[in-house]
Amino acid sequence: DAKTTQPNSMESNEEEPVHLPCNHSTISGTDYIHWYRQLPSQGPEYVIHGLTSNVNNRMASLAIAEDRKSSTLILHRATLRDAAVYYCILRMIRGSEKLVFGKGTKLTVNP
Amino acid sequence: NAGVTQTPKFRVLKTGQSMTLLCAQDMNHEYMYWYRQDPGMGLRLIHYSVGEGTTAKGEVPDGYNVSRLKKQNFLLGLESAAPSQTSVYFCASTVVRDYYEQYFGPGTRLTVT
């Protein structure tokens, strides 16, 4: 499984946008980019995923670099409830359905 | 729908004891997974199942066994618990045809003394 690199931690202020980066320089053409987050004392939850084009949903936006070697998860207006560990994960199309979690980025949101 | 549920929520075992963790999902998902999460770490896959009656090893399968006798249930067994198995265990499931996300349970916190 291809590897991702994320900062260990980031801080943001409430109601400000947050950009969470992820590097995946060894990504292959058949890898989807998935983001999950884990709130304190809970199981991970799906946030968003993409392949080549930028994606938006009600939770966040995913911006994917043209060469696909990096991506950015964008929370448009951070709330205290967005404080969590965010994981960037690569998953092969039609390959293993397994997710390989790294340590993720711990996001702190200040009031 | 209850989603993914896990039983029990907490358990303390002595070294050498055995136990079974139960994962149940009511979404008719084909794939189910067991992960463990140690403090400050991401999740690591223990075993997974792609359908009723089938199981496969993940990244850290040693010391664990699993069974998937019914589609909705995935059991994780520890035959002889060791302190190194102290962890939080998460179960997850997904539907293959429209695979976008895994749905996770709330976790089981296991301490082995």
- How many C-beta neighbours within 10 Å does residue B50 have? 14
- Residues A80 and A58: beta-carbon distance below 8 Å: no
pLDDT tens-digit map of A35-86? 999 999 999 999 999 999 999 999 999 999 999 999 999 999 999 999 999 9
How many interchain CB pairs under 8 A, A with B?
Answer: 49
C-alpha to C-alpha distance for B35 and B107, rounded to whole angstroms:
9
Out of A42, A98, A103, the one facing B42 most closely (by C-beta) is: A103
CB contact under 8 A, B106 and A43: yes
Question: pLDDT truncated to tens, each residue of chain B (113 aa)?
Answer: 779 999 999 999 999 999 999 999 999 999 999 999 998 888 999 999 989 999 999 999 999 999 999 999 999 999 999 999 999 999 999 887 656 688 999 999 999 99
A9-16 mean pLDDT: 97
C-alpha to C-alpha distance for B112 and B99, rounded to whole angstroms:
35
pLDDT tens-digit map of B80-106? 999 999 999 999 998 876 566 889 999
**In sequence order, which residues have a C-beta less than 8 Å from that of residue B103 and are 6 or more positions away?**
A46, B3, B4, B25, B27, B29, B92, B93, B94
CB contact under 8 A, B92 and A43: yes
Out of A46, A49, A87, the one facing B42 most closely (by C-beta) is: A87
- Chain A residue with minimal CA distance to B39? A103
